[in-house]
């Protein structure tokens, strides 16, 4: 690094810092809460100012008056008076500020400089990654640098507000329920359970044992969003080729035998169905970006999402198949730690691009060792962090996977076992494996819709 960079003075505004402290020292106690919402002691550049401001907050928190005398006494009590210059430093602070009316403005100037200093510090840390990092870990270094930037940009997100204002905002959302850009799920009862679809920033995990249908379900959601709802979708598969993904999508969309598409042995009816679905796929197929690169990293996913945005069609949904085949963001002592880093990075990706992220995950073998083969949340493989980071967890179960003679052959249980801020349920759908898709169960048209939905086993969830 250039030595001159190290000699540069970090951004600061000593006059603004002195004005804040001076205003608080001349008896403007009613302004302390206003300033405390903006500044913490560490936000001041000069250490003496950090100490003085900390003493002011301590006095105010204890209900004591704040002025030159009480602050100096507090500093003496904490044995900090000598470090900040004592009374001779306090007196000019108070004398230099004629009024406390502008203290909020001064505080924001101080905060702006603190943000600039943090930006410099993060940039220096990122530069150090480049100069001192191992070239073989370049992807990990880039990922860590991006996380540093995301963490910094997320600092201070949110604000204090009143119940009255947020209540009005809630009423607006209720009156215009379509204002939030939801991604619908193609199963009616599941979609209703999730409040109309998947929301921006959500990490949704679909997990199952091998060959149960988690990829099929993920493709159903991606296909529905891209073709039925004209939404751009990024689909990254670390297990299947783009050709196989295309065959599965065509089979599901056209109700064509998946096996026939794989072997090329289409019947005349199959060719007719393919001809009918071609215009729809040709029209909306540009919405679905397929990425079958093996391994892969979070950086590759991020780059793909950015390319879509640069082309004027930012993704509304990211689908990853599946977590355990991804490369970790950093080298870790255990695979569990790597997967924990991946799940956190996927959640950050969902927040960064303001889209739902569907990540598929394997389940461990514990469910197969139980008499009842139904999976539970603790069966998630490799890391409990997946459960912690996710907003929604869906477990898939098909009895005919274990018992071909099961009376429930062709049925699948969609078990929404975690739903942050919403209900959980087990909903049964039909599995049409020959078409590589799940669909809603057929319903008796003479049964009212409300009665048909009453079999949902809803349970309140505080997760």
The per-residue pLDDT for range 388-405, each reduced to its tens digit, is: 788 999 998 888 878 888
Start-to-end CA distance of the chain, whole Å, equals: 47
As a whole number, mean pLDDT of residues 280-301 equals: 78
85 and 195 in a common domain: no
Distance set, CA 77 to CA 59, 70, 146 (Å): 12, 10, 44
As a whole number, mean pLDDT of residues 92-105 equals: 79
Report if residue 92 sits inside a domain: yes
d(CA 224, CA 218): 10
Distance set, CA 429 to CA 217, 249, 302, 408 (Å): 11, 19, 33, 11
- In the prediction, which pLDDT does 446 show? 42
- In the prediction, which pLDDT does 171 show? 77
As a whole number, mean pLDDT of residues 71-85 equals: 84
97 and 219 in a common domain: no
Of 89, 109, 129, at which residue does a domain stop?
Answer: 109
Classify residue 440 by burial, with Cβ atoms within 10 Å: 0-12, 13-18, 19+: middle
- In the prediction, which pLDDT does 1 show? 45
State CA 46 to chain mean position distance: 36
Band of pLDDT at residue 113, cut at 50, 70 and 90: very high
**Model pTM score:** 0.61
79 and 206 in a common domain: no
247 and 377 in a common domain: yes
d(CA 305, CA 456): 36
196 and 96 in a common domain: no
- In the prediction, which pLDDT does 333 show? 57
Q: 231, 387 in Cβ contact below 8 A?
A: no
pLDDT at position 406 over 90: no
Strand partners, 204: 358, 392
Nearest to 57 by CA among 31, 83, 94, 80: 31
CATH of the domain at 186: 3.40.50.300
pLDDT in tens, 336-352: 666 777 778 888 888 88
pLDDT at position 274 over 60: yes
DSSP state for residue 278 in the 8-state scheme: H
What is the domain range of residue 359? Answer: 182-453
Number of domains in the chain: 2
- In the prediction, which pLDDT does 49 show? 92
Report if residue 192 sits inside a domain: yes
d(CA 452, CA 132): 63
Side-by-side strand order, sheet with 425-432: 288-291, 233-237, 317-321, 357-362, 203-208, 392-397, 411-419, 425-432, 437-440
pLDDT at position 442 over 60: yes
């Amino acid at each position: 690094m250039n030595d001159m960079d190290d000699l540069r003075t970090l951004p600061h505004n000593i006059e603004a810092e002195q004005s804040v402290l001076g205003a608080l020292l001349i008896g403007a106690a009613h302004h302390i809460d206003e300033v405390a919402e903006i500044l913490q002691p560490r936000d001041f550049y000069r250490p003496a100012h950090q100490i003085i401001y900390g003493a002011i907050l301590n006095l105010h928190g204890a209900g004591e008056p704040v002025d030159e005398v009480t602050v100096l006494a507090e500093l003496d009590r904490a044995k900090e008076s000598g470090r900040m210059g004592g009374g001779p430093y306090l007196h000019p602070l108070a004398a230099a500020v004629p009024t406390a009316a502008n203290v909020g403005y001064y505080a924001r100037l101080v905060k702006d400089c603190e943000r600039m200093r943090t930006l410099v510090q993060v940039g220096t840390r990122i530069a150090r990654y480049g100069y001192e990092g191992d070239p073989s870990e370049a992807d990990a270094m880039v990922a860590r640098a991006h996380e540093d930037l995301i963490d910094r940009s997320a600092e201070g997100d949110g604000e204090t507000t009143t119940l009255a204002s947020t209540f009005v905002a809630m009423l607006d959302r209720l009156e215009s329920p379509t204002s939030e850009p939801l991604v619908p799920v193609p199963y009616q009862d599941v979609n209703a359970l999730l409040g109309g679809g998947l929301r921006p920033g959500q990490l949704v995990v679909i997990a199952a044992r091998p060959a149960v249908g988690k990829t099929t379900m993920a493709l159903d959601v991606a296909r529905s969003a891209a073709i039925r709802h004209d939404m751009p979708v990024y689909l990254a598969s670390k297990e299947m080729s783009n050709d196989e993904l295309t065959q599965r999508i065509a089979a599901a969309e056209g109700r064509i035998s998946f096996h026939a598409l794989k072997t090329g042995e289409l019947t005349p009816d199959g060719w007719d169905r393919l001809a009918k679905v071609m215009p729809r796929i040709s029209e909306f197929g540009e919405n679905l970006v397929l990425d079958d690169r093996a391994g892969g990293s979070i950086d590759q996913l991020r780059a793909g999402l950015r390319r879509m945005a640069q082309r004027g069609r930012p993704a509304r949904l990211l689908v990853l198949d599946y977590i355990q085949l991804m490369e970790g963001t950093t080298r870790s002592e255990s695979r569990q730690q790597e997967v924990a880093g991946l799940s956190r990075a996927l959640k950050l990706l969902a927040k960064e691009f303001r889209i739902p992220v569907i990540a598929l995950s394997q389940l461990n073998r514990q469910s197969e060792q139980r008499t009842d083969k139904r999976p539970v949340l603790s069966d998630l493989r490799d890391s409990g962090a997946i459960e912690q980071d996710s907003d929604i967890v869906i477990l898939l179960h098909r009895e005919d996977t274990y018992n071909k003679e099961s009376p429930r052959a062709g049925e699948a249980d969609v078990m929404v076992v975690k739903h942050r801020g919403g209900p959980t349920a087990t909903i049964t759908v039909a599995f049409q494996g020959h078409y590589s898709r799940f669909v809603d169960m057929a319903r008796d048209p003479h049964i009212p819709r409300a009665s048909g939905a009453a079999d949902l086993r809803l349970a309140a969830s505080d997760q």
